[in-house]
Amino acid sequence: MTIDFKGRVAIVTGAGGGLGREHALALAARGAKVVVNDLGGARDGSGGSSAAAMAVVEEIRAAGGEAIANGASVTDFEAVQAMVADTMAQWGRVDILINNAGILRDKSFAKMDIADFKLVLDVHLMGAVHCCKAVWPIMTEQKYGRIVMTTSSSGLYGNFGQSNYGAAKLALVGLMQTLAIEGAKYDIRVNSLAPTAATRMTESLFPEELLKALQASDVVPAMLVLASEQAPSRAILCAGAGSFEAANITMTQGVWIGRAADAPEQLAARLAEVRQREGEIVPESGTAQGHLELSKAMAQIKAQ
């Protein structure tokens, strides 16, 4: 199977450098027309310049591809809507959205200013919400869409000094879960990508020898799969240094304890059993929890 994007139109946010640049170049190399979106700010989100986005556009064009630059901030919904409108005017469709734009404002939670917490959520989470909302009517109308959220191991598993970033990145997985359910009948498939790569965002997190092994281009194959016509939906792929893994949010089978006065004490005593992972499931939707709990309760009633 060859993955190609001929006839497809992709929007990649934060595409002026790092992972976003690699994503844009790879999509264009496989035939997609690409909107290279980048505010051109610093790692902490300050400033702005169109130079980075234009440089990527020129790379794509020099290689024979089609691309346009856009400098909208993903935090500005009206600017995002205008970007999508310009894309439609240029190419008449939007097939792929790669939500990659992001910033860092790292500090321990005790030392973090609340404004820095909110700003990181605004860029990562609300930026993705704005972009998804802007393309959603187009994708539903054309009955085709591929959306990739950029999550992170910091959101999936936690990381010291990144409470704001981690909260935003796991929230994107929650957004993915529901959009994938709502978009299924329109063939809109929504997935998440957790990259490990040496970029401006991560250069202070790893020693030099590890940074050399973590090429941003190593993450691209996972993005291409998640954005392809054959993509899964509701998948969380992890990628870095040539390795690929899948993460899942699971639920254990648990135990039924009931409503006795000492239910808290019983739960505390059986907590290890509740957390036992044998037989755990990946729920199809949020209703799975209620179904599991009710089935255990009804089984107890019938047994009495």
Catalytic residues: 165
User: What's the Cα-to-Cα distance from 75 to each of 8, 88, 125, 135, 193, rounded to whole Å?
Assistant: 25, 20, 9, 15, 21
Task: Look up tokens 């994107």; give the residue.
Answer: 172
d(CA 275, CA 252): 6
Taking the alpha carbons at both ends of the chain, their separation in whole angstroms is 56
Tell me phi and psi for residue 35, to 5 degrees.
-95, 115
CA 68, CA 19: separation in Å to the nearest integer?
Answer: 18
DSSP H helical segments within the chain, as ranges? 18-29, 51-62, 77-91, 114-121, 127-142, 153-157, 163-183, 208-213, 220-227, 263-269, 271-274, 287-303
Starting from the edge strand earliest in sequence, which strands make up the sheet with 9-12, in order?
67-70, 33-37, 9-12, 96-99, 145-150, 188-195, 236-240, 243-247
